[in-house]
């Protein structure tokens, strides 16, 4: 710790953003950059705690506590404070293959577990990570590093999201010949088509993918294993396979009128928008447009926020977001102590933008959808709701109970279902006879990642269910280690 009094002398500061009304006119990233002096001050706030909870990476009360990839946060904060940026990126890359992704889209459980956060606003860890990797790219320090020797072993990685890319990167470093299969037309999985461009510019994804290609990884796009290629061909043609296909089966809402036109899963909406944006700057007419429409987003979380932000950029007429849960408190509740992830009220970028346009947070809490009503053309016209309160039932379990007399009818031309995901799609797991756990995920023990079929491993959301990008990177790295051990008898991968 270069400055023992840094956390006393300096207050938490983040870079400024473009104003909400300005940034909804485009799909570019909207965060400004901080000066090096300011960043060094923020690095000085890190106390180098005796027990650095920020990089513990454990599960506490069902949520991540600290960094799941065990980033050495106090070390690179101190290096930034001292102006040793090259050493900082070396330290950061020891645990994180892609800090340019996590520095943009990770919700930063590290900051929720920062010791300084007990009494003061926590260290700006996420922005520090982003700043280190971007300075490294600008300075030309991030270069392709192909392995010096090849083992002759061939490994297939299915899926090019964060788990697949980190797995492929690590296996390639070990000298194996890695082929990554992606069913979309561009590499990146969730990073490419699941996260909007204003949150993660696709040039950032392509920049890293190009480096991985230069390092020797082969990418095969427009190829869905189990459909384009029989899944068993991987078993025949490769020495090992790692399944990183994600948990892409969306949770549906089986309410009356669900079949009406204009009701879409959130990912249908987001993926179509990003593809049209990249292909034609939204000129090809293939995006699902929210322009001049009354939009209702059902569900919260990052996906719901992304639907809000995208709809505003389309120029929607009105926008509301339904949440079944109560509004979180302004500060930690008694049953949510540090170092747990703080379940507190906040407005993400999409809600900030909606508030700037419509004058208030678009979210309505403790509400459920009862039915959808359409017009004579079979198009969505109305959403009927009722308010709920969370109470214990006869068995003592908390659940939503409807409040009589709170029924309401909402105008709607476009409804987006953002209620999470149920698990992986069935095709490849069924073809390979992979055992499932009780939540339909590929069954493979955490830390070992081996499925019931010899030589086939599973990692990321396909194994653990819907989760964070940083958990996907964690599992991809660890699955690569176990796959390397399987192929070679031992491993030097972390």
Lowest mean pLDDT among 44-48, 185-189, 411-415: 44-48
Q: In the predicted model, is pLDDT for residue 2 greater than 80?
A: no
pLDDT at 1: 67
* CATH architecture group of domain 154-248+422-488: 3-Layer(bba) Sandwich (3.50)
Banded model confidence at residue 396, pLDDT cuts 50, 70, 90: confident
User: Is it true that domain 252-419 has CATH number 3.50.50.60?
Assistant: yes
Confidence of residue 48 (pLDDT cuts 50, 70, 90): confident
The mean pLDDT value for 110-116 works out to 95
C-beta separation of 332 from 61 below 8 A = no
Q: What percent of the chain is predicted at pLDDT more than 70?
A: 100
Whether 172 has a pLDDT exceeding 90, the answer reads yes
> Within 146-216, where are the H helices?
162-173, 202-214
Are 243 and 158 within 8 A, CB to CB? Answer: yes
- Please state, for a pLDDT cut of 90, what percent of the chain lies above it: 94
Mind listing the pLDDT tens digit for each residue in 332-373?
Answer: 999 999 999 999 999 999 999 999 999 999 999 999 999 999
Q: CATH topology for 6-138?
A: Fumarate Reductase Iron-sulfur Protein; Chain B, domain 2 (1.10.1060)
Summarised one tens digit per residue, pLDDT across range 276-316 is: 999 999 999 999 999 999 999 999 899 999 999 999 999 99
The domains spanning 6-138 and 154-248+422-488 adopt the same CATH topology: no
Domain boundaries, the chain: 6-138, 154-248+422-488, 252-419
Under the banding of pLDDT at 50, 70 and 90, the label for residue 3 is: confident
Spell out the residues 6+ positions from residue 394 whose beta carbon is closer than 8 angstroms to its own: none
CA dihedral 135, 138, 144, 145 (to 10 degrees): -40
Q: What is the pTM of this model?
A: 0.95
Contact 21, 357 (CB under 8 A): yes
Average the pLDDT over each of 53-57, 182-186, 198-202, 475-479 and give the range with the smallest value.
Answer: 53-57
Q: Is the pLDDT of residue 64 over 90?
A: no
Average pLDDT, the chain: 96
Alpha helices, DSSP H only, in 315-436?
Answer: 349-358, 427-431
Q: What is the per-residue pLDDT across 245-255, written as a single tens digit (0 to 9) for each?
A: 999 999 999 99
Neighbours of 182 (CB within 10 A): 25
Give per-residue pLDDT as tens, 187-231: 999 999 999 999 999 999 999 999 999 999 999 999 999 999 999
**CB burial string 60-79: b at 16+ within 10 A, e below:** beeebbbbbbbbbbbbbbbb
Task: Write down the pLDDT at residue 175.
Answer: 98
Q: Is the pLDDT of residue 57 over 90?
A: no
Burial class (CB in 10 A: 0-12, 13-18, 19+), 411: middle
């Amino acid at each position: 710790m270069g400055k023992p009094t840094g956390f006393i002398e300096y207050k938490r500061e983040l870079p400024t953003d473009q104003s909400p009304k300005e940034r909804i006119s485009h799909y570019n990233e909207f965060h400004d950059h901080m000066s090096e002096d300011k960043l060094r001050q923020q690095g000085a706030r890190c106390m180098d705690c005796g027990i650095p909870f920020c990089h513990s990476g454990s599960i506490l009360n069902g949520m991540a506590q600290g960094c799941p990839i065990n980033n050495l946060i106090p070390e690179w904060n101190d290096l930034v404070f001292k102006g040793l940026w090259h050493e900082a990126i070396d330290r950061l890359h020891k645990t994180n293959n892609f800090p340019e992704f996590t520095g943009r889209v990770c919700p930063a459980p590290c900051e929720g577990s920062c010791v300084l956060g007990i009494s003061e606003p926590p260290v700006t860890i996420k922005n520090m990570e982003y700043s280190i990797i971007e300075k490294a790219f600008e300075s030309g320090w991030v270069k392709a590093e192909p392995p010096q020797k090849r083992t002759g072993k061939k490994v297939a990685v299915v899926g090019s999201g964060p788990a697949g890319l980190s797995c492929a990167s690590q296996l390639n470093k070990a000298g194996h010949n890695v082929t990554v299969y992606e069913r979309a037309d561009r590499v990146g999985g969730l990073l490419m088509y699941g996260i909007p461009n204003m949150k993660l510019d696709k040039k950032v994804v392509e920049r890293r993918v190009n480096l991985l290609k230069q390092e020797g990884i082969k990418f095969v796009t427009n190829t869905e294993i189990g459909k384009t290629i029989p899944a068993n061909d991987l078993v025949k043609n490769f020495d090992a396979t790692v399944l990183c296909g994600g948990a892409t089966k969306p949770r549906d809402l089986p309410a009356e009128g669900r079949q009406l036109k204009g009701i879409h899963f959130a990912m249908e909406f987001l993926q179509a928008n990003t593809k049209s944006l990249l292909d034609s700057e939204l000129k090809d007419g293939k995006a699902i447009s929210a322009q001049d429409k009354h939009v209702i987003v059902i569900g919260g979380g990052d996906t719901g926020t992304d639907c809000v932000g995208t709809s505003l950029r389309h120029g929607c007429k009105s926008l509301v977001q339904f949440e079944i849960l109560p509004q979180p408190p302004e500060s930690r509740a008694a049953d949510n102590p540090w170092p747990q992830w703080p379940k507190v009220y906040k407005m993400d970028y999409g809600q900030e933008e909606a508030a700037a346009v419509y004058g208030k947070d678009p979210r309505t809490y403790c509400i459920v959808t009862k039915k959808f009503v359409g017009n004579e053309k079979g198009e969505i016209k109305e959403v009927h709701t009722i308010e709920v309160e969370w109470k214990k039932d006869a068995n003592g379990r908390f659940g939503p109970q409807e409040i009589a007399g709170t029924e309401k009818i909402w105008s709607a031309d476009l409804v987006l279902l953002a209620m999470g995901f149920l698990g992986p799609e069935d095709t490849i797991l069924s073809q390979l006879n992979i055992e499932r756990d009780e939540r339909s995920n590929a069954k493979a023990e955490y830390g070992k990642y081996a499925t019931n079929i010899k030589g086939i491993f599973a990692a990321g959301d396909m194994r653990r269910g819907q989760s964070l990008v940083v958990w996907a990177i964690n599992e991809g790295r660890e699955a690569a280690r176990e796959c390397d051990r399987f192929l070679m008898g031992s491993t030097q991968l972390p």
